[in-house]
Structure 1
Amino acid sequence: MIAIIDLKAGMTFEQDGKLIRVLEASHHKPGKGNTVMRMKLKDVRSGATTETTMRPDEKVKKAFIENKDVQYLYSQDDTANFMDSETYEQYEIPTAIIEDELKFMLDNMEVKIQFYGSEVIGITLPSTVVLEVAETQPSIKGATVTGSGKPAIMETGLVVNVPDFIEAGERLEINTSEGTYQKRIK
C-alpha cells in the first residue's frame, strides 16, 4: 500500500479493479479545511482521464509494473510491432493504446514496453528524441530564439512550436514528456 501523498506523475496503482496511472499530482491547501491532493488520473486500460481530489492519508495498492527494453519495428493497420533485442521475441500493441507515443517514434527506435503481469499496458519513451522537420514556414531573416515561434510538422507527424529561424530538413531534439522543442542538432 502507498499513501496518496507519496504518488507522483508516472506512478501506477490499483483501485476498484482498475489500473490507474497518475498524470499530475499536486498538494492543495484550501482556505478552510484540510490539505487535499489534486490529481489527474488515467485509466490505463480504457484510456479515460479524470481529475479528482483525494485526502493525503488515503492509501492505494501500488501496481508492480515491469519494463522490458525493445525496439520499435513498424506500425501496420492498427497494430504497432516491437521486438525484444535479446530474445528476438515480438510484441504487438494496438496503436490506440500508444497513439500519443507513436508521434515521437521512428523505426528501429529503442523504447521500453510496460507489463502488468503478462498484460502489455503501454510504452516508455526516452526523455528526448531527435526528429527531422518535414514542413514549416520559411525562416524569417534576423529571427531570434526569443521570438514567438511557428508550428513545425516533424517527420512522424508531430506538430511542435519552434523558433522562427528553424527550416525544413533540420534535426531537432524534442522533449517527449511535454512535446516541446529543446534544441537544434547540427
Structure 2
Amino acid sequence: MISAGDFRKGVTFQWDGDVYQIIDFQHVKPGKGAAFVRTKIRSVLSGGSKEVTFNPTERFEKAEIITKEMQYLYSDGELYYFMDLGTYEQLPLDVEAVEEAIKWIRENDIATIRLYQGKAFEVLPPNFVELEVTESEPGIKGDTSSGATKPATVETGVTLNVPLFVNVGDKIKIDTRTGEYLSRV
C-alpha cells in the first residue's frame, strides 16, 4: 500500500479499477484547511491522462511493474520493434509508448521497457547517450563570448544547443533526462 503523501514522479498505483503512473505532483499546504496532493496521472492501460487531487492520507494498492532491458531493432513506420535479449522474443510497440525515448535511441541500442501484466507502457532511454552530430553551422571566429551556443542536429534527428566548437562528425554526450549537451567524446 502507498499513501498519496508518498507520491513521487514515476510511482504506479491502482485506483478506480485502473493503473496510473504519476507524471507530476505537488504537495499543497494551504494557510487554512487541510493539506492535499495535486497530481497529474496517466493511465497505464489506456494512455489517457488527467489531473486529480488526493487527500495525503488516502491509501492505494501499489501496482507491480516489470522492468526489462531490451534492444531496439527497427521501425516499420507504425510500430517500433524491441527484442528481449534473454528469450529473443520481439515486442512491437506503438508511438505512444516510445514517443519520448525514441529520439535518443538508435537501432541496436538498449532501452528499458516498463510492463504491467505483459503490456508495455513506457520506454526509457539510457540516462546518457553518445550521438554523432550530422548538421551544424560552423562557429564564427570571434563569437566566443561566455557560454555561446549554436543549434546542432544529431543522428537520431533531435536538435539541441551545443558549444560553438562542436562540428559535424563529432560525437557528443547528451543527458536524455534534460536533453542537454554534456561533452564531446
2:124 is the counterpart of 1:124: yes
- 1:182 and 1:34 map into 2 onto residues whose CA distance is 43
Contact 1:145-1:163 at 8 Å conserved across structures: no
Contact 1:7-1:25 at 8 Å conserved across structures: yes
Structure 1 unpaired stretches of 5+:
none
- 1:69 and 1:108 map into 2 onto residues whose CA distance is 12
- 1:134 and 1:79 map into 2 onto residues whose CA distance is 25
- 2:178 and 2:45 map into 1 onto residues whose CA distance is 22
Matched to 1:141, the amino acid is K
Matched to 2:147, the amino acid is T
Q: CA RMSD in A?
A: 2.0
Contact 2:69-2:84 at 8 Å conserved across structures: yes
Which is worse superposed, 138-147 or 87-96? 138-147
Give the equivalent residue in structure 2 for 1:61. 61
Secondary structure class of the residue paired with 1:23: strand
* Inter-CA distance 140–10: structure 2 relative to 1 (3 Å threshold): farther
Contact 1:144-1:163 at 8 Å conserved across structures: no
Percent identity, please.
Answer: 38
Structure 2 unpaired stretches of 5+:
none
Deviations 1:4-54 (A, max 9, x none): 111211111222223211122232222332322232322234433333432
- 1:63 and 1:162 map into 2 onto residues whose CA distance is 40
Give the equivalent residue in structure 2 for 1:9. 9
TM-score (norm 1): 0.87
